[in-house]
Amino acid sequence: MEQKTFDREAMRIRIDYNNMMQETLGARGLTKDELLALPLETAVQAMKTKRGSMKWRELPHNQDEIVKEIEAVAKDVRERFDNFVVLGIGGSALGPIAVQQALSHLHYNDLPKEKRNGPRLYVEDNVDPERMNALLDVIDVNKTCFNVITKSGSTSETMSQLLIVTDILHKALGEDISTHLIATTDHEKGNLIKIAKRENLTTFYVPDGVGGRFSELCPVGLVAAAVCGIDIRALLAGAAYMDELTQNENVFENPAYLMAALQVAAMKRGANIHVLMPYADSLKYIADWYAQLWAESLGKRVGNDGTEIYAGQTPVKSLGVTDQHSQVQLYTEGPFDKVVTFLSVDKYRKTMPIPEGYLDIPDVSFLCGHTQNELIAAEEAATEYAIMKSGHLNYAIRMPEVNAFTVGELLYLFEVQTAFAGELLSLNAFDQPGVEEGKKATYALLGKPGFAEKKAELDAAPAKLDAYIVK
């Protein structure tokens, strides 16, 4: 697979936060004193002290051998299969979806085989029974490789998918299904590693200390990307470059620390909603991936000292220009409870000219001779202006272009932003006790051994009143 080199400085992501500050926004803008009032130095020192425990921060630097293994397996998959199916949920699915959308053809699966870089990719990130049936209607399992991803091996949704798939594969292939199934899991703990050994599966490992939402830059995300012909070395190189940039201890020169400080200062103003609005279809699912990262990391009932804080900022997924016609009315004239983050692209990978036509209709003909590239850039600039003019907080992340290097930068930028925001809010950004509570309740309802007490708790919950059910 050909790897491309990038001019790091030319590909550097920029942050424009003029529209967050009083000098531009007026009285509703933040002041530098508000930012300086945050526990910046404490958070900076905590990031240094805790770096060793943030194993995801080493992923751009310590995977040379793993990348070679992934590339070899990916080459084999591309040669032998028509379809590649990821079985997973949460971070095991959102990252692969986001990177595939960003770096492959926008209609990748619809391209004929000779125009694709690899097999068709499907990511099955839900347990809606109609969804699995629909997948089986469009794939031939004999020509499909599956990649099951769960670190714990106890994720009910993923393991239900695995049970269905292994049953189908055994019926189609017999005893040996190892040619059609790859596992990505913990190297020694959990149920999936037991199954992987029993079935003699090719297995990749989620490194210790790397949680699901921080796992896209390890085999969790790299395998699917490599199978589809994405340059995973460039992805990691971009992340490594952003790691350098985010080690700057000056918060106002560190893009991730600065973005975290802006968001936390805005939260203290009551801006408890964060809208991420990319102006590129290729980046649409980056917003989905980010929503999990931001919500699951920062939505916490208790802080580091054990006191109840009910922290967090609700992420909202938006897409420019599409959601200018559905959401921007709210962002310009609604409550001052949001920060809008624009994600823009300087140079698109294609140019689409707008030809001449209907010259007698001025409301149409003014577009003639321009390009859709100019149009989307103008619409973004206009939306930034309208939101700024109305006094609502917003800032922009500007990418020179969308490629494997800049996407690696972006993913790592958001991860460090999230970790630093956790330090500013004095909470643990790496656990998810609220998610665990829902998992335990699911186990109890389905009769998993060891959850009788939780089942009794559920049975004792207040009965629903007919008075509050409309029939």
308 is catalytic: no
The answer to whether the beta carbons of residues 320 and 397 sit under 8 Å apart is: no
d(CA 429, CA 295): 10
Q: Which residue of the set 296, 380, 409, 415 is catalytic?
A: 296
268 is catalytic: no
Assigned token pair, 237: 């190189």
Could you write out the DSSP letters of every residue in 116-167? SSSSEEEEE----HHHHHHHHHH--GGGEEEEEE-SSS--HHHHHHHHHHHH
d(CA 204, CA 269): 44
CB neighbours of residue 114 within 10 Å: 5
Biggest distance spanned by C-alpha atoms of the chain = 75
Q: Which residue of the set 105, 439, 448, 454 is catalytic?
A: 439
Q: Which residue of the set 325, 350, 464, 471 is catalytic?
A: 325
Q: Which residue in the block uniquely carries the two structure tokens 């899991």? A: 185
175 is catalytic: no
d(CA 305, CA 308): 9
Could you tell me which residues come within 8 angstroms of residue 240 by beta carbon, excluding any fewer than 6 positions away?
Answer: 60, 61, 408
Q: Is 5 exposed, middle or buried (CB count within 10 Å of its CB: 0-12, 13-18, 19+)?
A: exposed
Which one, of 119, 39, 165, 15, lies nearest residue 423 by Cα?
Answer: 39
List the catalytic residues.
296, 325, 439
